[in-house]
Amino acid sequence: MRKRHFIVTTGLLGLCLMTTTACGDAYWADTVMIPMGSVETTTPTPRSSAPESPAPETPAPETSATTDMPKGFKPVGSIASGLVVAVPEKWIALDLSKDDLEQGLRSIGLSGPGLERAKQSLQTLVDNRAIWASDPASTETSPNRFATNLNGYCQSGPRTTVDELMTSARTELEQLNAKVSEAAEMPIDSGSAGRVIYSFTTNGLTVKGTQYYVPAQDKTCIVTLSTDQDGKQELFDSIGKTIHPI
């Protein structure tokens, strides 16, 4: 059987999504060195070289996954990305199977060299038709001007158990010097998920992350939420409960 790999590293690479005032060279120098060898990629979809336009709003996917959304949330995802997740309406949300990552990064304040470094580091999200979302208002309450953010996508492969997913996730996170505080199964709207709560520190910035592992018949979907602020777990779990592989 082909060894199943998990996308822990992509969650870590997605952590430096903050404004240019805080995302200096030192942050990116450390972040981009996180190994990417365990991440499987697909062939990238060619993108247009047309002039930039404002980041598009992702339309609601035509799926029953949108019926259980919490009030004040909107869906992001599609059949092409393999999953749908609901995020707060005021978040910037992109389905990278069709939307442009650069536009999303510009919308949270990145530009110039910082924008280019972010695009290079997060290209794996585009290659894997991921979903990506960010709370632009969170930079105002973050002591580090760190944008609370989400990324998620699915990997094809034989169905596995939630316990197996959590065990592998804990091992990989700890190998990356993250401190895992909780790993447990939780009910979600589409069934059950493995939830792993962790933190890690880089350049004096402590990031608090939660990953949700959702097994489906022929794939596993992984959603990572990251922040540097306290008091976000209830929001993260509200988002996590809406994960629907499709």
pLDDT-derived band at 107 (thresholds 50, 70, 90) equals confident
pLDDT confidence bin for 17, thresholds 50/70/90: very low
Q: What is the pLDDT of residues 48-79, one digit of tens each?
A: 444 444 444 444 444 444 447 899 999 999 99
Determine the pLDDT at residue 32.
29
Helix, strand, coil percentages (3-state) for the chain, rounded to 5, are 25, 30, 45
What is the reported pLDDT for 199? 94
Full set of structural domains in the chain with CATH: 8-39+75-245 (3.40.1000.10)
Sign for the CA dihedral angle at 41, 59, 137, 195 comes to negative
Q: Quote the pLDDT of residue 214.
A: 95
Q: Give the neighbor-by-neighbor strand order of the sheet with 205-215.
A: 92-95, 131-134, 149-156, 219-227, 205-215, 191-202, 179-188
Does 45 score more than 60 pLDDT? no
* pLDDT for residue 66: 47
Task: Give me the DSSP letters along 31-50.
Answer: HTTS--TT----PPPP---S
Given this model, what pLDDT does residue 55 score? 46
DSSP lists the bridge partners of residue 200 as 207
How far is it, in rounded angstroms, from Cα 239 to Cα 221? 14
Mean pLDDT computed over every residue of the chain:
77
Q: Which residues, in sequence order, are bridge partners of residue 151?
A: 132, 224
Q: What is the pLDDT of residue 110?
A: 82
Of all residues in the chain, what percent carry a pLDDT higher than 70? 72
Report residue 120's pLDDT band, with 50, 70 and 90 as the boundaries.
confident
Q: What is the pLDDT of residues 146-169, one digit of tens each?
A: 889 999 999 998 888 899 988 888
The three-state secondary structure class of 64 is helix
- Confidence (pLDDT) at 203: 83
CB atoms within 10 A of CB 46: 6
Is pLDDT at 42 greater than 80 in this prediction? no
> For residue 83, which of 26, 151, 37, 182 has the smallest C-alpha distance?
151
The answer to whether the beta carbons of residues 242 and 69 sit under 8 Å apart is yes
